[in-house]
Amino acid sequence: MLVSRWGAMTFSIHASKNGKSVITVRISPDATVDKARLLESLGWQVHITDSVGRQFGVSEFYRFLWINRATAPDTVERRQ
CA separation for the pair 2, 22 (Å, rounded): 22
pLDDT of residue 32: 95
* pLDDT tens-digit readout, 7-55: 567 899 999 999 999 999 998 999 999 999 999 999 999 999 998 899 9
Q: Does the residue 2 lie in any domain?
A: no
Parent domain of 60: 10-73
* pLDDT tens-digit readout, 53-72: 999 999 999 999 988 877 65
Task: Of 42, 44, 47, give the one whose Cα is nearest residue 13.
Answer: 47
pLDDT at 77 over 60: no
Cβ atoms within 10 Å, residue 63: 12
pLDDT band at 76 (very low <50, low <70, confident <90, very high): very low
E strands in 5-44: 11-17, 20-26
Q: What is the pTM of this model?
A: 0.77
Give the total number of structural domains in the chain: 1
Q: Does the residue 66 lie in any domain?
A: yes
CB-CB contact of 22 with 15 (8 Å):
yes
Q: Does the residue 4 lie in any domain?
A: no
